């Protein structure tokens, strides 16, 4: 049913508007008794649980940052079968993001281009919602992804990240430093090791006992991936997320004119699959076995999740697949993983 709905109805809507419509449905899914009914059909099998970061994840598959920017869908996404939800990216200061339109479907490639620009209501609002979410009787593991406020100069980025970390880390199951979005000017430059080390050290101190991870770009050179991986271990981080969206456009099936019309931004979805898998293998080879590695990028099926786990991923995340698979996506993956045992 959903593929037909997508082709005949949803593709007629602006992608960002369609996302907001979907968010309304997901929020309803998190309200009792709807949530309890849904869990009977979507809950992962008990043996799919993953123990990592001092936490228990009901499924290895969760929602990547960017889907629930403002901490409004956590209970609903948990009821739909996701083992964890990474909210954000949250910035210390509220910001509207980039001008619209800023989200574009590349249907032929099962991909999306976005240049959202960390649109969010800010860390204070996120903190208030996280407090309420933590009181919920049933909820998934909730990670919080933090980024640099756009109006803050790159030279002052550490102070900005620390401000968010102090407010949000006590309310997060884990915290992620996002230095890899292509949609905030100067942000990816923070991935340089000499810049990243003091940033991660400061945020780790501010995060206290909350597990801290860093999220990297797929567009880094292989040696840069390995350097950052070793840095994450050296600075005492709990893990690393590989990868964010890409600025590459090579090999797309979508007509070049359509891709050009979409313009700048991060590409996610199926075209990112191979590079994300390659980066996962590079990271896993550079870090100890107990170091947590979360793989994201081009994940759509249970076979994709299984491939990432076999390549060394502790956990796996998806986002763009929700657009093409619909609200029962996590259930499909959980059932597929169960059949593959």
* pLDDT of the chain, 341 residues: tens digit per residue: 888 888 888 889 999 999 999 999 999 999 999 999 999 999 998 899 999 999 999 999 999 999 999 999 999 999 999 999 999 999 999 999 999 999 999 999 999 999 999 999 999 999 999 999 998 888 999 999 999 999 999 999 999 999 999 999 999 999 999 998 888 888 888 888 889 999 999 999 999 999 999 999 999 999 999 999 999 999 999 999 999 999 999 999 999 999 999 999 999 999 999 999 999 999 999 999 999 999 999 999 999 999 999 999 999 999 999 999 999 999 999 999 998 75
The pLDDT, as a whole number, for residue 341 is 57
pTM comes to 0.95
Structure tokens at 85: 């939800």
104: β partners: 113
Radius of gyration of the chain (CA): 18
Q: What is the pLDDT of residue 7?
A: 87
Q: Is the dihedral of CA 44, 171, 163, 290 positive or negative?
A: negative
Q: Which pLDDT belongs to residue 192?
A: 87
pLDDT at 138: 87
pLDDT the model gives residue 339: 86
Residue-level pLDDT at 114: 95
Q: Which listed residue (59, 149, 180, 181) is catalytic?
A: 181
Report the pLDDT value the prediction gives residue 185, as an integer from 0 to 100: 81
Long-range CB contacts for residues 3-6, cutoff 8 Å, separation at least 24:
3/326, 5/326, 6/323, 6/324, 6/326
All residues at 6 or more sequence positions from 43 whose CB lies less than 8 Å from its CB, including other chains? 58, 81, 334
Our answer to whether residue 181 is catalytic in this structure is yes
Residues 237 and 215: their CA atoms lie apart, in Å, by 11
Residue 93, classified by CB atoms within 10 Å of its CB into exposed (0-12), middle (13-18) or buried (19+), is middle
Cα angle 225, 228, 231; round to 5: 150
Query: How long, in residues, is the chain?
Result: 341
pLDDT for 72? 97
**pLDDT at residue 187 in the model:** 85
């Amino acid at each position: 049913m959903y593929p037909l709905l997508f082709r005949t109805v949803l593709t007629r809507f602006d992608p960002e508007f369609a996302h907001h419509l979907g968010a309304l449905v997901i929020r309803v899914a998190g309200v009792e008794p709807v949530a309890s009914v849904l869990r009977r059909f979507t809950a992962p099998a008990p043996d799919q649980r993953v123990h990592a970061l001092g936490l228990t994840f009901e499924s290895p598959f969760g929602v990547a940052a960017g889907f629930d920017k403002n901490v409004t869908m956590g209970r609903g996404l948990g009821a739909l079968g996701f083992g964890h939800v990474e909210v954000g990216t949250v910035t210390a200061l509220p910001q509207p993001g980039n001008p619209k339109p800023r989200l574009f479907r590349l249907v032929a490639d099962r991909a999306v281009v976005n240049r959202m620009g960390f649109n969010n209501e800010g860390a204070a609002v996120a903190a208030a919602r996280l407090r309420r979410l933590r009181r919920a009787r049933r909820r998934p593991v909730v990670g919080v992804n933090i980024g640099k406020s756009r109006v803050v100069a790159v030279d002052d980025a550490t102070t900005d990240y620390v401000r968010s970390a102090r407010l949000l880390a006590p309310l997060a199951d884990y915290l992620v430093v996002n230095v890899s979005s292509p949609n905030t000017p100067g942000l990816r430059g923070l991935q340089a090791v000499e810049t990243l080390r003091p940033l991660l050290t400061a945020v780790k101190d501010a995060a206290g006992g909350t597990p801290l991870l860093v999220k990297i770009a797929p567009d880094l050179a292989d040696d840069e991936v390995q350097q950052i991986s070793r840095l994450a271990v050296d600075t005492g981080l709990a893990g690393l997320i590989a990868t964010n969206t890409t600025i590459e456009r090579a090999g797309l099936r979508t007509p070049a004119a359509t891709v050009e019309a979409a313009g700048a931004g991060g590409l996610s979805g199926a075209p990112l699959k191979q590079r994300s898998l390659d980066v996962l293998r590079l990271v896993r080879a550079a870090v100890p076995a107990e170091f947590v590695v979360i793989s994201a990028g081009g994940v759509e099926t249970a076979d994709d999740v299984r491939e990432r786990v076999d390549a060394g991923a502790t956990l796996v995340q998806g986002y763009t697949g929700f657009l093409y698979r619909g609200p029962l996506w996590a259930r499909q993956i959980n059932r597929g993983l169960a059949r593959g045992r």
